[in-house]
Amino acid sequence: MTATILVTGAGGVGKTTVSAAIAVTAARSGLRTLVLTVDPAKRLASALGTANLGYEPQPHTDEPNLWAAMLDASHSWQSVAVRHAEPEVAERLVNNEFFIAASEHFPASQSYAAADQAVTFVEALAWDLVVVDTPPSAGGIDFFTAPAQMADLVGGKLLRWLTGGPLPGRRFLYTRAGKPILRMADSLLGNDLLERVAEFLLDLRTTYDGVANRGRQIEAVFSTSAILVVTTADPAPVAEASRFFRELPGVASDPIAVLFNRTLPGSWIGARPAGTAHPELAENLRRWGAESLRQTDTRTEFAAVNKARVVAIPWMAHPPTDLDSLEALILNSSEFPFTELAITVAP
Amino acid sequence: MLEKRLLVVSGKGGVGKSAVAAGLGQLAARKGKRVLLMDMGNSGGLAAHLGTGPLEFDPREVGNGISAMRIVRSDALLEYLTIQLSLRGLNRFGALARAFDALATAAPAIREIVTMGKVLWEVREQHWDLVIADAPPTGQIGSFLRAPTSISELVPTGRIQRQAAWMTHTLKDPSTTHLILVNLAEELPTTETIQTLGWLEENDLVPPPSVLTNRILDDLQTDPAGDGPILEAAVHHRSVYSEQQEWLENLKPDIKLPFLFGLLTPPEVSARVGEILEGVL
């Protein structure tokens, strides 16, 4: 049995670092752990044991329990075509301009590809724990709704809109000239744009059964995964985290905790320096104390409004660059939900 | 910068884009300009920084000389079809609008040109002295700026093609348009900003942008001393400061904004940003 932790949250809050830190802590506690990440910073990638993190999991040279790999959204969308379409259709699809555009831009398609790849590693049963640093689009919600959205996309929802009627067969392409709506569209778009789009959508539709089945398998893994939300105390990511709670996708379980990254020590709030202290340093403490107070207020309010467990992850002035500093990030978080995540750390 | 007609504000998520857009708007309004602030996405960040409720497609006055709106895709699409493309009979052919919406998912340049088209339309109509767009993050800004060009390639004839031509021209005109990339002195935002700058230079879609680096700490003039919190806070400040200096070396900003301590509300942040920008610009 492989346990899964899905780490979600807005971009720029240190989600990737926190995911890596959890993986290092779990690996050092004895769990064979794989961390999957979307786009790690160079220094973090090297902390994970390789400067060029690849798409195939590799073990860390100093920590054999820790494995890491990147999720490649654009590449694995092609594999959807290859896996679920007839070979000649797949060939047409991967070279189709709209397929390329859709795989680059349709946010759900990238999330779907990432989820598909992550679930493949969960199914491999080669690890005790898989930690997934999920893509940050739409406050993380996209990742969870992607399987359903993809099934909708390839299932012909677009095609129905395009023709304003029931799902057409390929002969639609030859009779459409009679339809006023399509005549008007042609005059706007030039002659064959709709035809090219329809051709693409008809090809795409042949992948429906495969995509829908796979979507259900992905959702089954989601529903049994532990979810952690990462944020900082800044208003924008906090709003995204709140949105995740408000719009919690049906396929996800309640988040275990919300991790507030870059938290300052509470002991700085209202601390009084000795009378002999240098005025500039006293003022510096006052300002950082005010910042720490603002953070505390934000966490308290978030916990009350969303009925969530909040965990403070300390602000490291220098981002972690090795296994020890990554592990320290978690071990220094006194309220970290080790038990709920079944990570046993020696005292 | 405030003499332009269109300021496009982008940056990696979480760097303070909306605060900068709102602050610039407040500054321009103080200088007597009629300003329109446009939220090109749906994050709600701009509304929060203006201290107002959710923005809608119809511009609403949110302060002295400042109006604000949000680009709602379905409204923008209808306006694009009826006004910009002068398409009549949409009541009869409401299905066409739906077909376009469907098309926009498969051919994403269409979605982006509807959004970009609305921004440029407001510039062209001249109801405002200055339009400020709180744009999508740097990860997506390329496909928006490139939308008119993409459309020209995708749709080689027809009315859409002709619309795309003036959009490309307006974006490229240095007396009209200026792009501001908001950055932080940290690894990921700086790496992404440098990548974006390279992409922009290669693609030549807008005049050379400005880089605004946000939340920069001043150095302490006194070495950390004492014990307990006063020492910890000083050491923390110094380490973050030196980390930031390293990234400022990698990418020298055109505009610097200081770290704002302990400010509580987004409107307070954007008001401060506006005041500071007045001194900098």
pLDDT 10s digits, B112-167:
888 898 999 999 988 999 999 999 888 788 889 988 887 777 666 677 777 888 89
**Residue B101 forms contact with A (CB below 8 Å):** yes
Q: Is residue B138 within 8 Å of A191, Cβ to Cβ?
A: no
Cβ distance of B45 and A274 shorter than 8 Å: no
Cβ distance of A318 and B233 shorter than 8 Å: no
Predicted local distance difference test score (pLDDT) of residue B107: 60
Q: Calculate the alpha carbon distances from A139 to A245, B42, B214 in Å.
A: 10, 11, 22
Query: What strands lie across the sheet with B6-11, from one edge to the other?
Result: B60-63, B66-70, B35-39, B130-134, B6-11, B177-184, B210-216, B255-258
Query: Which residues in chain B are closer than 8 Å to A158, comparing Cβ atoms?
Result: 102-103, 105-106
Residue B57, classified by CB atoms within 10 Å of its CB into exposed (0-12), middle (13-18) or buried (19+), is middle
Predicted local distance difference test score (pLDDT) of residue A51: 61
pLDDT at B96 over 80: no
Along chain A (347 residues), what's the average pLDDT of each consecutive run of 10 residues?
91 88 95 88 72 81 91 70 86 79 67 88 95 80 85 69 52 51 60 69 82 92 94 87 86 92 94 86 94 94 95 86 91 89 79
pLDDT at B177 over 70: yes
**Residue A12 forms contact with B (CB below 8 Å):** yes
Predicted local distance difference test score (pLDDT) of residue A184: 61
Query: Which residues in chain B are closer than 8 Å to A41, comparing Cβ atoms?
Result: 187-188, 191
Best mutation target, B188, B195, B214, B260, to test chain A (most A CBs within 10 A): B188
User: How far apart are the CA of B175 and the nearest CA of chain A, in angstroms?
Assistant: 31
* Overall average pLDDT of the B86-93 stretch: 58
Cβ distance of A161 and B98 shorter than 8 Å: yes
Cβ distance of A287 and B87 shorter than 8 Å: no
Predicted local distance difference test score (pLDDT) of residue A177: 47
Window 221-260 of A, Cβ < 8 Å to B: 232, 234-237, 239-240
Q: Are strands B130-134 and B210-216 parallel, antiparallel or unpaired?
A: unpaired
Count of CB contacts below 8 A, A vs B? 184
Best mutation target, B160, B163, B187, B236, to test chain A (most A CBs within 10 A): B236
Cβ distance of B188 and A10 shorter than 8 Å: no
Name the residue with higher pLDDT: A168 or B256: B256
Window 118-177 of B, Cβ < 8 Å to A: 137, 143, 154-161
CA distance A336 to A5: 14
pTM listed for this prediction = 0.85
* Overall average pLDDT of the B44-71 stretch: 92
Predicted local distance difference test score (pLDDT) of residue A53: 75
Nearest to B12 among A12, A101, A157 (CB): A12
Window 49-78 of B, Cβ < 8 Å to A: none
**Residue A268 forms contact with B (CB below 8 Å):** yes
Predicted local distance difference test score (pLDDT) of residue B272: 93
Q: Is residue B189 within 8 Å of B12, Cβ to Cβ?
A: yes
User: How far apart are the CA of A271 and the nearest CA of chain B, in angstroms?
Assistant: 7
Q: Are strands B177-184 and B60-63 parallel, antiparallel or unpaired?
A: unpaired
Share of chain B above pLDDT 90, in %: 62
Least confident of B24-38, B147-161, B191-205: B147-161
Beta strands in B104-176 (DSSP E): 130-134
* Overall average pLDDT of the B83-99 stretch: 61
Predicted local distance difference test score (pLDDT) of residue A174: 47
CA distance B144 to B74: 17
Helices of type H across A85-233: 87-94, 97-105, 107-123, 141-154, 157-163, 172-175, 180-189, 193-205, 208-223
The residue of chain A with its CA nearest to that of B161 is A189
Nearest to A201 among B100, B106, B239 (CB): B106
* Overall average pLDDT of the B171-180 stretch: 96
Predicted local distance difference test score (pLDDT) of residue A217: 94
Window 114-133 of A, Cβ < 8 Å to B: none
Cβ distance of A194 and B240 shorter than 8 Å: no
User: How far apart are the CA of A83 and the nearest CA of chain B, in angstroms?
Assistant: 21
Of the pLDDT bands very low, low, confident and very high (cuts 50, 70, 90), residue B248 is very high
Q: Is residue B210 within 8 Å of B179, Cβ to Cβ?
A: yes
